[in-house]
Structure 1
């Protein structure tokens, strides 16, 4: 399986898939990828973390943004309240799709395997927000625990709704998952 490390998580894809860490790794000694060389220097251009696609002839393109707020739940709350967070994910998704097209068109070797999915227009465009948050711990007050669970569910539904409202009209299927909720039908997994 191609494995991609993103923060504390390892994303695993079947061996037949093509998957890349699209937003690059600035601290690695390897030469920078297409995004870091050509697009990141343009300050307004953003990117999702991982791009993956199953082998041809299936034309499915997955753009995966990873956010781990287990260490900074207050930052997430602030972003949600200002509605900056869903907009940022939408921008990263759209910028990445444009960047992939340009990279494939330019003949970038790392992005060339995505040519089938990009140049022939993917049948399925999928935007996935992987959002990990601080686990809600059960305390002595059962009512407080249920209230916290309800608030978390409402918060996540709001994020998912804003993503879908922005991206579904553009042909994207959207999902919001965490390590415990990646469906087996996704075709990939996280550990």
Structure 2
């Protein structure tokens, strides 16, 4: 389900967004009716915005925002369950009270690396991208693991094998 949908009156828009500073992930996914695992999906598209991504990573704002969205979404689902809000499906409300196994997936899309005629330049660019993404994943894990929320970093071309679902580019 699209959680932070602002175009129609869902739970996030009518109950959570009205609280200043509250954030929500883009999508919630899981296998009804038991929702033994609930996936919190956040999509960040930085294609053509590498400088902005670099600035957010340097300032630490990207990881902080994603962590806040995950925590606020879990809190929102818990409150929806306690209040029996009909805008969240009953089986998802029940899962929020159990609790299920929570997993955040950050889809971070970046431009493909430019191809250089120099093999060493290409290897360095790939290495730098891998290190950058590993650093993001490590910071997310460090902040979310103590809360019982697993995390993964993904791209459209490299989805987690155990996801059981797919993403297509719009």
Using structure 1 for the length normalisation, give the TM-score.
Answer: 0.82
User: What secondary structure sits across from 2:38 in the alignment?
Assistant: strand
Contact 1:47 1:96 in 2 (8 A): yes
Residue 116 of structure 1 and its aligned partner are, at CA, apart by 2.7
How many residue pairs are counted as aligned between the two chains? 167
Contact 1:179 1:190 in 2 (8 A): yes
Q: Deviations over 1:78-114 (max 9, x none)?
A: 0000111111111100000001111233333331230
Q: Deviations over 1:99-132 (max 9, x none)?
A: 111123333333123023111211x110111111
1:69-84 map, 5 Å: 69-84=46-61
Identify the match of residue 93 of structure 2 among 115, 125, 142.
115
1:166 match: 143
1:130 match: 107
User: What secondary structure sits across from 2:123 in the alignment?
Assistant: helix
Q: Deviations over 1:135-185 (max 9, x none)?
A: 112221221111111111111011000000001111111100000111231
Would you say 1:149 and 2:126 are equivalent positions?
A: yes
Query: Once superposed, which parts of structure 1, at least 4 consecutive aligned residues long, lie more than 3 Å away?
Result: none
Higher strand share: 1
Is there any run of 5+ residues in structure 1 with no aligned partner, and where? 1-19
User: What secondary structure sits across from 1:25 in the alignment?
Assistant: coil
- Partners of 1:170 and 1:104 lie apart in 2 by 19
- Partners of 2:53 and 2:85 lie apart in 1 by 35
Q: What RMSD, in angstroms, separates the aligned Cα atoms of the two structures?
A: 1.4
Using structure 2 for the length normalisation, give the TM-score.
Answer: 0.92
181-190 vs 91-100, which deviates more?
181-190
